[in-house]
Structure 1
């Protein structure tokens, strides 16, 4: 793609202006190339990829089985460039067969507000945000534990407890985000939780009077500039907050905050300089909770289901 080099450099400059925590704009993957002309003759481009996920895979729990994803290169064109590219995508998608279990997806910096209007106009919804929290100098202060609540690392003996809490989080997320509760969800989650327990990923359980009431499933990641995660995060050691779940009867009592106070302290102690997670902006619990924990959106994934609804 001849225009890719200049657009990529201009896009990196725009990213720097929009949000200083963004990494440099990444080259798009291989796929179907779309280009669009702007009124002054400038051109923007994008690469469209199509993925098909097998039923029974972990990905199928948070994605439609057929996914069309656009990787834009709009340079410095901002909202006008995004609008032109989306018009071309809509024309192409109208000629593409897509079943009910399908989606169109585009991930873009959360603070680039100019892109929001054309995405909304074409029917996209901001379903998922990647949010970040950077640690300031020194370890996060470990506050006094909440009365009656204790936290501990989960072990293999806690598999059923962890599984139940993760399935509860999946069910709630499916109401307000991109998650899908599929018939084999328990089997898929059981295999995933077992693997993470076996490899020693930190999972903190909160207990009240000895009864489990919450979970924070985390892990450490070393992000490099040439890795897939490096297209979303600046290089460094990051703590990933994979799943936080609090039982319905314990919500609103500070259990989640207690879990995250422990997780932030311990992840920093293990070398993380920041943490990140994914949450659903339409989620009335998560959208408030994570802001209070110091997280703010870095990337937003705009989604439309089914893919045939792109206009």
Structure 2
């Protein structure tokens, strides 16, 4: 392993974005070129798992350490590796690189290798965001309870179906069952972590959050601590752009700030014309960008 590349990579990113974490050393079977290191990993998911909804079944990822701005040769080496482990034209496969959003040095090489920026991991610091708006007429906000399971799952499924248009998510026959179990698990947690917006007595908007320690799985993606993860935010399609989502998210942010959460992370799809402006207005900005190519290898 080239320790100098690791150190130069860390120093470069520390100057670009103070909210990026200190990356651990790479391990496993590495590929390398002058000034760059990469750790390729290939995994295949159980199609009945909920995780299979959040992407392709066969995932080929490359974790990179880059000393300068020459990513292209390392991507060439990765292409050689993919040719040995991926099936050309497999539409349920993806090649993906998660890249620091403010590190623009590698963008040209990624584009030239057929990758597109698809997902953003965005971050909001405590106290950042638009002022709390007044609730729209007839709207109330409350924590969900066990009796809301069916309504929560319906809102969640609607969000997933909308987001499948943008190329990252894949609704599967097992998706609704998996979402029901996940929602039931959220409702069983010690601290409330699902908020509902109601119009009259009808749930029309939802936000779910992983609080520590349930957010530990993503806490190492930022230098801030403690971290929460906003897993779902959505409003019924017929009530979008009415202010319900803004009021709901502002309410959740107030509670997170009161809990002492330093930073909240979430994912959104860059091609989604609603997500990008909405979450930016709520105080989120890009921290990591996931560049995808699906299928992983063109036929």
1:284 aligns to 2:273 (yes or no): yes
Deviation of 1:222 after TM superposition, in Å, equals: 5.2
Matched, 1:296 2:285: yes
Structure 1 Cα separation of the partners of residues 116 and 33 of structure 2: 23
Counterpart in 1 of 2:204? Answer: 213
1:185 equivalent to 2:175? Answer: yes
SS state at 1:7 partner: helix
TM-score normalized with structure 1 length? 0.89
Aligned match for 1:129, one of 120, 139, 154: 120
- Give 2:60's aligned residue: 68
Whether 1:116 and 2:114 are equivalent positions in the alignment is: no
Give the Cα–Cα distance (whole angstroms) in 2 for the partners of residues 62 and 112 of structure 1.
25
TM-score by length of 2: 0.93
Q: Does 1:151 align with 2:141?
A: yes
The aligned residue for residue 53 of structure 1 is: 45
Deviations 1:143-184 (A, max 9, x none): 543322100100010000000000001001111141100111
Cα offsets for 1:223-264 (capped at 9, x unmatched): 99xx75344111411221110111011100001101111100
Long gaps (5+) in structure 1 = 38-42
Q: How far has the Cα of 1:27 moved from its partner?
A: 2.0
Contact 2:114 2:293 in 1 (8 A): yes
SS at match of 2:185: helix
Are the aligned partners of 1:151 and 1:207 in contact in 2 as well (CA < 8 Å)? yes
How far apart in 1 are the matches of 2:50 and 2:26?
A: 24
| 2:24 aligned partner | 26
**Is the alpha carbon distance of 1:24 and 1:212 closer, same or farther for their aligned partners in structure 2, counting shifts above 3 Å?**
same
Q: Is the 8 A contact 1:223 1:234 kept in 2?
A: no
The 3 A distance-change label for structure 1 pair 126 and 201 is farther
Matched, 1:252 2:247: no
CA apart distance, 1:90: 1.3
Q: Looking at both structures, which has the greater relative contact order when contacts are Cα pairs under 8 Å and sequence separation is at least 6?
A: 2
* 2:227–2:264 contact (8 Å) kept in structure 1: yes
Measured after TM superposition, the shift of residue 211 of structure 1 is 1.6
